Amino acid sequence: MPQPTAAGAVPGVELVPTSELTIEATWDMAGMRGTGSDTLVAKGVFVPYHRIRTFSDVLTDHERAGEPLYRIPPGSLTLTSLAPLFGAARAVFRTTVETVGRGKPMAMSLHRRLADSPSVLAALADAATLIDSAALHLTRSAEAVDTAAAASAAPTLLERVRVRMDVGYASTCLRQAVQLLLTVNGAGSFSRSASVQRYWRDLETAARHPTLNPGLARMYGRALVGDERPVSPMV
């Protein structure tokens, strides 16, 4: 059972009834506006010790869990964060292919249709490949995590940081793919009524979440040479 610090607080995760909380409207973002990620405020709320998990427990107790789902290392759960980004990128790709297929003309060009432009066709091919690359990396990591959890085998540090590398790389691929597709769609895709710009705003906002930071892929490089110094607690 966690013990309080000198200041009387235990750093960790607390279970508190929602009836004892108030909501402060602080979520006013360009993207992900529908998540409603406002601030929960607890004033004068007492939380008993049995409703508290320290961060150290959260990061290490998964290895002793009975159910496979709860044996997944917290850092590997970042895979789930990529699902909405992957879906958004696929939606932009589908919408763009439909637009090109309808014979939309290419403005300020001698090409009668977008489909007649080699640059448009190359952009579609590159975007499709980037989305496929993201899917391959995410599938590899998801299968590795599922296999380890089902076998009650604790993934090695190298296996865990590879998940973080796959996630960061996939995030970058999806962002690059959508950039290409936005150029194909043209300025009209930024109309407030267009679904494409909403997908773009959501993806670009979500991709900045710290757990998806591609810069932390250096953890993988360290692990490849046997350096186990931590870069992030979420591994």
Together in a domain, 23 and 134: no
Residue 188 corresponds to which amino acid?
A: G
Q: How many domains does the chain have?
A: 2
Six-digit token pair at 102?
């309808």
Q: How far apart are CA 184 and CA 199, in angstroms?
A: 15
User: From first to last of its 235 residues, what are the pLDDT tens digits of the chain?
Assistant: 444 454 555 567 889 999 999 999 999 999 999 888 999 999 999 989 889 888 777 667 666 667 777 778 888 888 988 999 999 999 999 999 999 998 887 877 778 888 889 999 999 999 999 999 999 999 999 999 989 888 888 888 898 899 999 999 999 999 999 999 999 999 988 999 999 999 999 999 999 988 888 877 778 888 999 998 877 777 7
Domain that holds residue 26: 12-64
| Domain identity same for 79 and 37 | no
DSSP letter for each residue of 192-205: TT-HHHHHHHHHHH
Residue 54 domain flag: yes
- 234 part of a folded domain: no
- Does residue 95 share a domain with residue 58? no
Single out the residue of 129, 140, 146, 131 nearest to residue 162, CA to CA.
Answer: 140
Specify whether 21 is located in the same domain as 117: no
